[in-house]
Amino acid sequence: MLLHLGAEWAIPRRHVLAILDLRTADSPDTRAFLRRAREQGAVMAVPGGAPRSAVIAVDEAGARRVYLSPISAATLKRRNLFTGSTERGAV
């Protein structure tokens, strides 16, 4: 099952580690994490508007990726925890 991040972007739900609300994720640790991810080239901006959430995931090779999505964290969380699936949900 895939998690739709906006536009034409989707990732496997099993790869999702966390979904952050960028409006409230303003701690120094979160800012430092996002800055390091940008410096490492691990941040992908999903087109479609200003980022409202950050989805932290791992790719098939185990590398960390951060997707900045214009979709709210609450909506992404609901999509990721869709009932009826046998896959593990995200945090």
pLDDT along the chain (91 residues), means of 10: 94 94 90 96 96 95 96 93 52 42
pLDDT at residue 81 in the model: 81
Q: What phi and psi values does residue 22 have, to the nearest 5 degrees?
A: -70, -20
